[in-house]
Structures are given as structure tokens and as C-alpha cells.
Amino acid sequence: MTKPQFFEFEADFTDSLRCIPMAVRMKLDTCGIKLKLAQWNEFAPGERQQLVELPCSTPEEFQAYRQQLKDLIWQRTQTPASELAIDEHPSWLNVTAIPAVLQEKAQAQGVSLTLEQWQSLSPLQRFALIKLSRPSHESLNFLPALKEFKLA
């Protein structure tokens, strides 16, 4: 099991895991499963912790994580897991270009991101910034994330 990484901007809920942390959200996108907060909250604390800790970085781990999650959703909610299309080339792994929506959101906060800064971030940090910059996201944590990653 890998050591889970939580961000400071998630600190208000990582002890209880009442919200889905970015580390798990990245795994969900990677393995193609949509998990609603209501479903997450049906899981026992130990099950949530296990989803945080389970590795999900090789094709075999993706499949194992996906199956475990599908089984858990079924066991706790009696509904099948919703599937997502899996992006073969996710933008958080692309170190040659900063997604436009992220650049626009940063500029709206008075921050200009350089490609060098983008490249210096971990995949999980890049994932978090992309998620927090989406128009559908309330993005209260966008500026705190930029500050935490020493970008603002």
C-alpha cells in the first residue's frame, strides 16, 4: 500500500474522510468509475481509508481498484457503479501544455503559470488544479491550492 497524500486545503475533512480526497478522485478518473459523495458516505471509515491507500498506478492495479470499488458500491448501495470514459491521455499527465481552463482560472486569481512550474508539480498536484479549475466546481480551494503548491 502506498502512503496516501492529502493536501493542506483538504485538511478540514481528511481525518474523517467525509469528503472524497483528491488522491481518490484521481484514482476514480484513472479507473473509470464515477463515485457520488452520497455513495462515498455509505462506506465504512475503514473502507474509505482502504480506497485512499490502495495503489492505482499500473493497468493491473487500475483493474483491481475498479473491481473493488464496483463491488463496494454494490454492497453498500445495491446500485451498480456508474462508469466514466477513461481518458487515455489525461491532461494531468501532459507536462507539455497547461490546460487553458486552468490557465484562465489562475489568471483570474492574478497568477500566471509557467510551463516550468506546471512541469515541477506532481501528477496529483496537476490533477487537483485541473479539478479545482473546472467551471462546474465551486473552487473555494483553488487559490489555497495555488498557494500550497507555491504558485501564488
Give tens-digit pLDDT for 99-129: 999 999 999 999 999 999 999 999 999 999 9
- Residue 117 Cα to chain centre, angstroms: 19
d(CA 23, CA 33): 14
Which one, of 131, 113, 109, lies nearest residue 121 by Cα?
Answer: 113
d(CA 51, CA 69): 8
Tell me which residue has cell 451498480: 80
Can you give the pLDDT at residue 1? 42
Low-confidence ranges of the chain (pLDDT < 50): 1-2
DSSP class of 86: P
- Helix (H) or strand (E) run with residue 14 in it: helix 11-14
d(CA 34, CA 54): 17
**Helix residue ranges per DSSP H, 32-114:** 37-40, 45-53, 59-77, 100-108
DSSP class of 130: H
d(CA 75, CA 94): 36
Can you give the pLDDT at residue 12? 87
d(CA 130, CA 41): 24
What the block records as the C-alpha cell of 52 is 485512499
d(CA 6, CA 22): 7
- Helix (H) or strand (E) run with residue 84 in it: none
